[in-house]
Structure 1
Amino acid sequence: MTLKTPLNRACGASIGILLAAVLAATPAVAQDKTLNVVGAGGSLQTAQRYAYYTPFAEEFGVTVNEESYSGAMAKVEAMVRTNTVSFDVMQVEQDDVVTGCDEGLFEPLDWAELGNPSDFVETATQAECGVGYFVWSMVFTYDRSKIENGPETWAEFWDVDTWPGRRGLRKTPKMTLELALMADGVAPDQVYQVLSTPDGQDRAFAKLDEIKDHIVWWTTGAQPIERLAAGDVAYSAAFNGRVSNANQEGKDFALEWAGQIYGMDFWAIVKGTPHLDLAKQFIAHAIKPEQQARFPEKILYGITNKTALESLPGEMLRQLPTAADNLQSALPLSSEFWIDNQETLSKRFETWLSAS
């Protein structure tokens, strides 16, 4: 039996106070070292795991749980509005990071907690709620083991008489309408000027009408590569990194840069995450040059840390969207246009899809 003497009570009280002090001094990040990171799946997420998730988990003793999504923001909005946030860090396209920030779906970020903005390409640092970490490009591709001389421009991609077969296109108006206008002869630097007018929008949908019966729609970046490999489509729009990755795995897919549309994806933190400090720590780690330089080893998308870019071998650089030769007829994706026109053109696009 233990006697509760004044000394025993005093020691117990001291220990209790000490334990409370230790717990109070322990950072929140140490209480729950679990981070839920959401990407786009497929080979892109494999590269993210190699460059970012695994090194972060190993260095800081963190469990990184991965999820993937198709880019729809409705689920994120529902989480935030109902205070049931289970996504912590997300890969977000450039217009979504702006609108999501305006709508209160993402946490504002302070570069003082992340790094030096001057170390990055300018566009990567301009979003209030995101950090740009890779540059991607929409190109078109086909299987050269099956097709010896395929199309080389979007106009030829549209020519189903000369190059028969089904076409893969992304099931969104964004980038699809731009491709249609370039297929109709609009120069890349004039696309958004034309698409900003009612006549230009009519022109884009009319061009899509020409091949509507030949289109197989895709929603995730992995699908066009999978369908091309399976022979479900003969030609497809696709993200350049997915094509390069397939070729590294033994495929012989063409990579046509003419009329490429290039944009940037961002890391963003979902508003209301219970792991805010850990999420910021992850982003700060992921944009370091040594981490970013690992990314194109697995998938050939551009990176945004200038020191990391300078460290890449020349052969690797030439396969990135921002290589000088690949930019000659490129179209930079306009976030401003899509922020202003997304709702209207999405409704029209859905109506067009459902029409016979």
Structure 2
Amino acid sequence: MTGLAALAGFSAIALASSAALADSLTVATWGGSYTQKQRSVLMEPYTKKTGTVVRDAVYTGGLGQIRAMVEARNTVWDVITLGSPETINACAEGAIVELDKSKLTHAADFPAGGITPCGIGSVGWSLVLAYNSKLTGEQPKTWADFWDLKTYPGKRALRRQPKATLEIALLADGVTREDVYKVMRTPAGIDRAFRKLDEIKSSIQWWEAGAQPSDWLSSGNVVMSTSFIGRILEARAEGAPLGYGWQDAFYTIDYWTIVSGGKNIDRAYEFINFATSPEAQAAFSAIQPVAPVNGKSAGLLAPDRLPLMPVGKNLEQNVRYDEQFWNDNLEALNERFNAWLAKG
């Protein structure tokens, strides 16, 4: 009898555990303070509204984590935030679900590019031209100014990768934002970008970690840099004399997606619909320096918040990354870029 009682007890625990999991959802995002803020305005309010407990997980980038789950048929994440190129690739591989737009409550509120076959926009963000205003004096406004070593002497920083770097070089050489990817789709256009980079190569300091540009600018190590807008705003809040501009900044979108093989598909849609509502996206953008993608969210934000993010007139000045171009050409251009760097 004791053995049967123990078995019954174990079965009861297992059933209770399964029931608990059935009433939960696992959402993977970028971790750290980013996820903490999401928890406060997305996960916890969703749980309060629906009763479904949201467990968060840390996504470290790339596709390795979700590929492993899908291939092992052990999908433990339900929803994941992916960058634009990862969304394209994961969708092509079948690692994330092709979305049924009829189940997306707020689909009509999203602009072109805000919804892809497998993702719906979670946030928009920009890579901007940032500068130390004490060192530059007059505000540099264009990428041509970035190349102007006479007016703005000193080191400048670019990210150690061809993506954005080649586009910036062409913009500095007079190509318009509307034509930059047309030019880059030609061998002559790529040659032109590298020739332009040659002009300031000895004055470039290459960054790899997202915190480096704001740190280098604040210390005066460089006078100008590309930077994620959020890092600049954080440094300014601490008193650093940093400025930035929206002209020809580079805009992209992160997407909410559903991992293939999950058993909580309906709840995943329910959470995504909650997280993509105008109110939820505005609430997150009010505490994190990213832009909402839902077109109705900006009107819910405080007016003094809008100049800090790529929305409205700011967004109109941005270059939208052509992720398909980079998916098709990244390997070859990485190889050429690294060989160019190695020349010294």
Q: Into which bin does the TM-score normalised by the smaller protein fall?
A: 0.7 to 0.9
Of 318, 337, 342, the match for 2:330: 342
CA-CA distance at 1:187 after TM superposition: 1.5
Is residue 110 from structure 1 mapped to residue 100 from structure 2 by the alignment?
Answer: yes
- Asked if residue 92 in structure 1 is aligned to residue 82 in structure 2, the reply is yes
- Equivalent in the alignment of 1:157: 146
Q: Which runs of 5+ in 1 are unaligned?
A: 3-11
How far apart in 1 are the matches of 2:300 and 2:25? 32
- Pick the structure with greater CA Rg: 1
- Residue 124 (1) aligns with residue 117 (2): no
Aligned-partner SS, 1:137: strand
- Partner residue of 1:67? 58
Deviates more, 1:74-83 or 1:284-293: 74-83
* CA-to-aligned-CA distance 1:3-58 (integer Å, 9 cap, x gap): xxxxxxxxx9xx99xx89x979958532xx3625222x676556534433444456
- Aligned residue for 1:29? 22
- Note closer, same or farther for the CA distance 1:28–1:66 as it changes in structure 2 (3 Å cut): closer
Greater CA deviation, 238-247 or 96-105? 238-247
Relative to structure 1, the CA distance from residue 128 to residue 230 in structure 2 (aligned partners, 3 Å threshold; closer, same or farther) is: same
User: CA 1:116/1:58 → structure 2, altered by over 3 Å: closer, same or farther?
Assistant: closer
Q: Which moved more, 1:142-151 or 1:285-294?
A: 142-151
Instruction: Specify the code of the residue in structure 2 equivalent to 1:123.
Output: G
Q: Which runs of structure 2 are paired with 1:279-290 in the superposition (5 Å)?
A: 279-290=268-279
Q: Which residue of 2 aligns with 1:5?
A: none
Where 1:174 maps in the other structure, the secondary structure is coil
Could you tell me how far 1:256 is from its partner in structure 2?
1.2
RMSD: 3.6
Closer, same or farther: CA 43–112 of 1 in aligned 2, 3 Å: same
Q: Is the 8 A contact 1:37 1:65 kept in 2?
A: yes
- Greater displacement, 267-276 / 300-309: 267-276
Match for 1:306 among 292, 295, 301? 295
Residues 229-256 of structure 1 deviation map (CA, whole Å, 9 limit, x = unaligned): 3444332111223323433444332111
Superposition pairs of residues 178-189 of structure 1, within 5 angstroms:
178-189=167-178
**Matched residue, 2:307:** 318
Q: Does 1:239 align with 2:228?
A: yes
CA distance in 1, matches of 2:34, 2:80: 13
User: Which one-letter code corresponds to 2:108 in the other structure?
Assistant: S
User: How many Å separate the matches in 1 of 2:327 and 2:237?
Assistant: 36
Number of positions where the alignment pairs a residue of Structure 1 with one of Structure 2 = 338
Per-residue CA deviation, residues 67-101 of structure 1 (Å, 9 max, x unaligned), is 253x4345544554455666553332223312220
Q: Which residue identity lines up with residue 22 of structure 2 in the other structure?
A: V
Q: What is the deviation of 1:285? A: 2.1
Partners in 2 of 1:344 and 1:165 — Cα distance? 31
The question of whether the paired residues in 2 share the 8 Å contact of 1:153 and 1:258 is answered with: yes
Contact 1:29 1:278 in 2 (8 A): no
Identity %: 36
Moved more, 175-184 or 73-82: 73-82
Assess, with a 3 A threshold, how the Cα gap between structure 1 residues 339 and 150 changes in structure 2: closer, same or farther: same
Alignment correspondent of 1:7: none
